Chains A and B, each alone.
Chain A
Amino acid sequence: MEAQAAKYLGAGLAAIGMIGSGIGVGNIWSSLIATVGRNPAAKSNVELYGWIGFAVTEAIALFALVVALMVLFG
């Protein structure tokens, strides 16, 4: 296999790591919506944690992307 082809395959494989982050972010929003649906008064309390959780979980996808970029251009 040529080195360039292996690079592209590796970058694609590294992007698989984003699956977990996608599930995680979906989980956060689904539980946030369920919480607010059950108890609308709690919205202001939980919204902040939702955003923090989103940012922290989304970072995992970005780590995978950084690895992919390192494979491609590093």
Chain B
Amino acid sequence: MSNPIEQFKIKPLVPLHIGSVDVSFTNSALFMAVAFVLITAFLTLSVRGRALVPGRWQSLAEVMYEFVAGMIRDNVGKEGRKYFPFIFSLFMFVLFGNLLGMIPYTFTFTSHIIVTFALASVVFIGVTVIGFARHGTHYLRMFFPHGAPLATALILVPIELISYLSRPLSLGVRLFANMTVGHIILKVVAGFIAAFIASMGVLGILPSILPAAFLGGITVLEFGIALLQAYVFTILSCIYLHDAIHMH
């Protein structure tokens, strides 16, 4: 059975070095570019007709737009409107990254912690900058809940500070871990079936229908997880944005 971690290996496609820094065009970069091209093509081509009564493709694009717009309306409020382009790009990029990875023999760029952590850091830094820009030093009140006795500040402030600083970590690791673990499980179960058939010969094909059906079930679950994690990543970004704008 081949190594289940092997599928996450980054291979340079076009080796490129600037000084001692390795900036090769890798398979990870290739799939990010593919996701970007697919999103752009999908969104521009589907609304090109600008029909009043949308067709199949146009309504798909409109559903995506409405979905994210509703998410921002419900979780951030009116002030969130101007951050819509960013949140929508974030959602589409993560969603396409997750779904592209479900196609066999492709590479899942969201299964690398550096990619998800970079996305989460952009959200975290952006939200912190917005918070300080809107509230000034008053934003530091975030770390001390309203109405708490002043004497508890010694305990509460470090706790709130740690929970605030761990946001990009948990946001990034959640997406990374979900995608990585899902792909490892698929590979391990599929590897068991392949090893069973290899050891039993033709006799092994019939009994392996059951684990194959199980594998199909997991694949469906993984598609659900791919959608759900893109959703969770976006909604948590919205909640952090809400915290920065309205301060609890």
Q: Whole-angstrom distance between the alpha carbons of A23 and B228 in the complex?
A: 21
Which residue in chain A gives the minimum CB-CB distance to B175? A59
Q: Whole-angstrom distance between the alpha carbons of A16 and B74 in the complex?
A: 37
Interface size class of A (residues with CB under 8 A): 10 to 19
Q: Is the CB of A55 within 8 A of B232?
A: yes
* B225, chain A: closest CB distance, angstroms: 8
* A48, chain B: closest CB distance, angstroms: 9
Q: Which of B5, B180, B181, B228 is the one whose CB lies under 8 Å from A55?
A: B228
Interface size counted on chain B using CB atoms at 8 A: 14
Tell me which of A55, A56, A65, A66 has the highest count of chain B C-beta atoms within 10 A of its own C-beta: A55
With A59-B178, A73-B5 already in contact, the answer to whether A51 and B228 are too (CB < 8 A) is: yes
Q: Whole-angstrom distance between the alpha carbons of A51 and B228 in the complex?
A: 8
Q: Is the CB of A55 within 8 A of B229?
A: yes
Interface residues of B in 160-179 (CB under 8 A from A): 170, 173-174, 176-178
- Interface 0/1 of B172-203, CB less than 8 Å to A: 01101110110000000000000000000000
Interface residues of A in 34-74 (CB under 8 A from B): 51-52, 55-56, 58-59, 62-63, 65-66, 73
By a CB distance below 8 angstroms, the chain B residues around A63 are: 173, 177
With A51-B228, A56-B232 already in contact, the answer to whether A66 and B174 are too (CB < 8 A) is: no
With A52-B235, A73-B5 already in contact, the answer to whether A62 and B178 are too (CB < 8 A) is: yes
Q: Is the CB of A66 within 8 A of B232?
A: no
* B145, chain A: closest CB distance, angstroms: 21
Q: Which of A52, A56, A65, A73 is the one whose CB lies under 8 Å from B181?
A: A65
* A26, chain B: closest CB distance, angstroms: 17
By a CB distance below 8 angstroms, the chain B residues around A66 are: 173, 176-177, 180
Which residue in chain A gives the minimum CB-CB distance to B225? A55
Residues in B lying within 8 Å of A, measured CB to CB: 5, 170, 173-174, 176-178, 180-181, 228-229, 231-232, 235
- 20 extra interchain contacts, Cβ-Cβ under 8 A, other than A55-B174, A65-B177? A51-B228, A51-B231, A52-B232, A52-B235, A55-B229, A55-B232, A56-B174, A56-B232, A59-B173, A59-B177, A59-B178, A62-B173, A62-B178, A62-B181, A63-B177, A65-B181, A66-B173, A66-B176, A66-B177, A73-B5
Residues in A lying within 8 Å of B, measured CB to CB: 51-52, 55-56, 58-59, 62-63, 65-66, 73
